[in-house]
Amino acid sequence: MRVYLDNAATTPLDPEVIKVMSEVMGSHFGNPSSIHAHGREGRTLVERARKTVAGLLHTSPAEIFFTGSGTEADNMAIRCGIIDNNITHAITTRIEHHAVIHTLEALEKAGTIKLSFVDIDDKGNVDYAHLEDLLKTNERSFVSLMQANNELGTLTDIEKVGELCEQYNAIFHCDTVQTMAHYPHDLGKLKVHFITCAAHKFHGPKGVGFLYISHKIKIKPLIYGGAQERNMRGGTENVYGIAGLAKALELAYADMELKQQYIQDLKAYMIAQLKACIPGVQFNGETDADKSLYTVLNVSFPETDIADMLLFKLDIAGISVSGGSACSSGTDIGSHVLTAIGASTTRPSVRFSFSKYNTREEIDFVVTKLRELFS
């Protein structure tokens, strides 16, 4: 048996997405920038996908820009949002994705901004009072906070953050790579300037994502070279990837609540089984359903002499997961997220992440193998 529980890293393609992409690859190869019939076919597919995405998110197609990844979208939002709006102060947390932290740190190193880190607790929750203090005591700020942490699953109240940013005239960028297609997003109501997406996190293809840019903010391109994406992102569009993204998002929004409940039940079942079968197991981040991303569970296991080999042993047993431990020194290559919340440096941690394709039988198999390793 082979079990895949690393869906926060990437998800398997939905068969209906494969079907759509195969049709596009086989029949619609024209460059969407070309004016002839083949090119117009490609342009129609791109714009139809843009309209689908915008409709699901309750925004205008003019505010959706396709990119090559979530990382590119984050970089475009952060670099262009800060530089093109003359922002000199930015706020984030120490548990953001490296696409955010490293980009902001590079801007700070270049002298473009002063970077502030908002406090978080030992479960990864944002201290909103501290966030407000940072907003009120600094010049106009650029705020970059993810909706759900990719390692812990802990959720941030982005509606509350958006309200604070509006109150203090701040620019708000939200990395929604882990939550896009898992929760509904009404961009007609959410007070946010940028959100980012990567299709491969919700059973779409790798190598394509999008950036939402509110009509209230103006930026210049990150990538120059052509007039694609309404002069905002040079480079020939990944037509079959864009078509696959739109189909995957459409499928995700269909019966979203039913799929959410199914996966949440799997997560709750695994929590209960781990508690029952492995004494001393602990959980990193929030586990309550209303405070945690239902697709992610981060588990710290008891200290063991196989800590460094745990992921390898699980792989040999037929289980695909990711994880590690907190950094024990400045030279360790460990999880910056676990380090930031003060997790143990000696207990091995594993991130289990679920999808609609996982089953209780797979959870039983994984818990059985873990119990054998820790017995």
- Catalytic residues, which ones? 327
Q: DSSP class of residue 302?
A: P
- Residue tagged 């908002």 (tokens): 118
Cβ neighbours for 332, distance < 8 A, ≥ 6 positions apart:
none
Which helix or strand (DSSP H or E) is residue 67 part of?
strand 64-67
How far, CA to CA in Å, does 173 sit from each of 38, 96, 217, 323, 369? 37, 12, 11, 27, 41
At residue 13, the 3 state secondary structure works out as coil
Q: How far apart are CA 286 and CA 154, in angstroms?
A: 5
- Residue tagged 């708000």 (tokens): 172
Q: How far apart are CA 223 and CA 262, in angstroms?
A: 40
Q: DSSP class of residue 210?
A: E
Enumerate helices (H) and strands (E) in the chain, giving the number of each: 13, 13
Hey, which residues does 155 pair with through a beta bridge?
148
Burial of 73 (0-12, 13-18, 19+ CB in 10 A): buried
For residues 73 and 67, the answer to whether their CB atoms sit within 8 Å is yes
Which helix or strand (DSSP H or E) is residue 92 part of?
strand 89-92
Which helix or strand (DSSP H or E) is residue 50 part of?
helix 37-56
The single-letter code of the amino acid at 147 is: Q
